[in-house]
Amino acid sequence: MCGIVAATAQRDVAPLLIAGLKALEYRGYDSAGLAVLDGGQIRRVRAKGKVREMEALYRADPFPGGTGIAHTRWATHGVPNEANAHPHVAGRVAIVHNGIIENYADLRARLQAGGRAFTSETDTEVIAALVDERLAAGLDLREAVLAVVRELEGAYAIAVIDRNAPGRVVGARRGAPLLVGLGIGENFLGSDAQALVQVTHRVIYLAEDDVVEITRESVRIHTLDGTPVERPVHESELSADAVERGEYRHYMQKEIFEQPRAVADTLEARLGPHGVLPNIFGAGGDELLAKVRGLHIVACGTSYHAGLVAKYWIEEYAHLPVGVEVASEYRYRDAVVPPDTLFVAISQSGETADTLAAMRESKRRGYLGTLAICNVPESSVVREADLRLMTRAGPEIGVASTKAFTTQLAALALLALQLAHQRGLDADRYAGLCAQLAHLPRAIEDALALEPAIVALAERFIPRQHALFLGRGVQYPVALEGALKLKEISYIHAEAYPAGELKHGPLALVDESMPVVAVAPGGPLLEKLKSNLQEVRARGGELIVFAEGEAGMDGNPARGALLRVASGGDFIAPAVFTVPLQLLAYHVAVLRGTDVDQPRNLAKSVTVE
């Protein structure tokens, strides 16, 4: 999703802004631009496509200037082209913006009635015009922005400069992230700490409705009513290395291979030799969890699939009812909340607009409390939850989520175990499940060793347009996640079904041109799954089976392939079987030559509705 970087410094800021935009590329975008104050004028460069294309234009005609704003845009209002790219300029003002202004049409009509012309289709240009209007009426930049954001409905993070206010950038946020980076004699704004890691580690996370003014020497924050406030300074732990690609061809591949470490880090000091350690969900967490009589899990995308796995675990081991729902649905319907229900939000970024809105909505619906499972400390979801368990995946750059998913599963496994233990799960069974979970990093390591075999398998998918994924029980969400990975990065249409549903519709699609991927570890449902696979075979479908044993393939499938995966046990099998599906999607995408880390049309962190 869109990314913002802004700077005010003694040195020329355009190169810093470009470096910051490159660090934000992972979020997904389709155009880029920057604007700098250069001796009383606004100099601007914008381009459709990648940051390097905009950079080439800048380098062909560079300009100096110590104050500037920059942006990567993920199109919402208006197609991706130069005219719609940010920064937008109106009179004295240049602005960059993330989010969607819901009342922009009314505001635009009012401005047009007053004679103002617009050069783009964006809602952002409307904000620029409104600020310009206020400046013309005599307000200074901070006052003007404050007055304008009071009129805005919707979500925004903005950074604004004024031709007549050199050395000054004003930012504001509501429902979209923005933070301040503190340098020495220079200050910055960015959408996340990663954008600023090359210039500073000292950051201030702005709160909802904050308006900030930065100069080289000062940072002043005000709330929407104009009251000055102080916000704490954090030392970001991100290192520039953590966002390097190293020896890997893509971030996604690097992140797939980081999973053993990331999962081990997530379990570290949380799973002891005798079970889940006390209060890993925060102070008073165990006490609150002991009262829980049901859970509602809400998330989007891959995080939603993690929630679906958790439902199987929690219902099986803790016997608590669990509802799982995508956030964009949950927030707009009247979910019935039985007494003592825990609301659980799962989010890698902690800034997904729908998940955040759902969590805010949940606070009005009478839950026992809220728990966030999240990868980004200081994100909005984490800050607004009562309890939290951080996944420790480290920065995830590839748009297609991999290590975030398996670390979410590790965190949710801890939750399931804690809930089950509190509700009297048999001690031997509890110990056995804990031992399996402790083995998960190793089991993932073993699954990664399948990569060469998966590369060979991936070739079969190069000419395909469609694929079906099948799983049963707790492996059904794994099939969903496998299908999502394939469609996200290889652009092959892929759908997942619980294998038992095959004959209720999707079997009609099966012929020689349809690869069917089945996730088939051992367990009680294996026999059932085997007969589902026979149904595919009988129709000439190409079966690709990831199995612990033979899975009815008799070691010598007539058409198709069998890949043996050691699950490490029923409990952790969903996390382990996810890994070969990630590798499959990755290698199919590489072979098809797509933009693996930044697939078309997708964004890493979806901060608009």
The binding site for ligand G6P (CB under 6 A) comprises 300-303, 347-349, 352, 355, 399, 401, 602, 604-606
DSSP 104: H
Contacts (Cβ under 8 Å, ≥6 apart) of 428: none
Ranges of H-type helices in 121-250? 124-136, 141-151, 193-196
What is the Cα–Cα distance from 36 to 7, expressed in whole angstroms? Answer: 9
As a residue count, the chain comes to: 609
Q: Cα–Cα distances in Å, from 477 out to 306, 405, 468, 472? A: 8, 12, 13, 9
Q: What are the strands of the beta sheet with 202-205, ordered from one edge?
A: 41-48, 31-38, 67-73, 3-8, 187-190, 179-182, 202-205, 234-235
Instruction: In angstroms, give the least distance from the CB of 13 to ligand G6P.
Output: 29
Q: How many CB atoms lie within 10 A of CB 295?
A: 27
Instruction: In angstroms, give the least distance from the CB of 326 to ligand G6P.
Output: 10
31 vs 303, which CB is nearer to ligand G6P?
303
Residue 35's DSSP bridge partners are: 44, 69
**Residue at token pair 């208006």:** 78
CA 271 from chain centre, in angstroms, equals 26
45 vs 263, which CB is nearer to ligand G6P?
263
Angle at 484 between CA 261 and CA 442, to 5 degrees: 20
Of the CA atoms within 13 Å of residue 10, those in its CB half-sphere come to: 4
Question: Does residue 530 have an active-site annotation?
Answer: no
472 vs 485, which CB is nearer to ligand G6P?
485
Structure tokens at 198: 């090359």
578 vs 605, which CB is nearer to ligand G6P?
605
Instruction: In angstroms, give the least distance from the CB of 344 to ligand G6P.
Output: 13
124 vs 352, which CB is nearer to ligand G6P?
352
Instruction: In angstroms, give the least distance from the CB of 303 to ligand G6P.
Output: 4
* DSSP track, 301-322: HHHHHHHHHHHHHHHHHT---E
DSSP 581: H
434 vs 489, which CB is nearer to ligand G6P?
489
What is the Cα–Cα distance from 313 to 411, expressed in whole angstroms? Answer: 12
Which residue is catalytic, options 22, 48, 50, 604?
A: 604
Instruction: In angstroms, give the least distance from the CB of 517 to ligand G6P.
Output: 20
Which residue is catalytic, options 2, 300, 374, 434?
A: 2
288 vs 306, which CB is nearer to ligand G6P?
306
Instruction: In angstroms, give the least distance from the CB of 306 to ligand G6P.
Output: 9
Beta strands in 191-304 (DSSP E): 202-205, 211-214, 219-222, 228-229, 234-235, 271-272, 275-276, 294-299
Instruction: In angstroms, give the least distance from the CB of 134 to ligand G6P.
Output: 35
Instruction: In angstroms, give the least distance from the CB of 468 to ligand G6P.
Output: 22
Q: How many CB atoms lie within 10 A of CB 240?
A: 11
Instruction: In angstroms, give the least distance from the CB of 300 to ligand G6P.
Output: 4
Angle at 277 between CA 275 and CA 280, to 5 degrees: 135
301 vs 506, which CB is nearer to ligand G6P?
301
Written in H, E and C, the secondary structure of 511-539 is CCCCEEEEEECCCCCHHHHHHHHHHHHHC
Q: Give the nearest residue (CB) to ligand G6P.
A: 301
Contacts (Cβ under 8 Å, ≥6 apart) of 424: none
305 vs 530, which CB is nearer to ligand G6P?
305
Query: In this structure, is the dihedral angle defined by the CA atoms of residues 244, 248, 253 and 256, taken in order, positive or negative?
Result: negative
**Residue at token pair 């020329």:** 12
Question: Does residue 300 have an active-site annotation?
Answer: no
Instruction: In angstroms, give the least distance from the CB of 409 to ligand G6P.
Output: 13
Q: Cα–Cα distances in Å, from 457 out to 287, 451, 491? A: 49, 10, 17
What is the Cα–Cα distance from 476 to 469, expressed in whole angstroms? Answer: 9
5 vs 399, which CB is nearer to ligand G6P?
399
Residues annotated as catalytic (active site), given as ranges: 2, 604
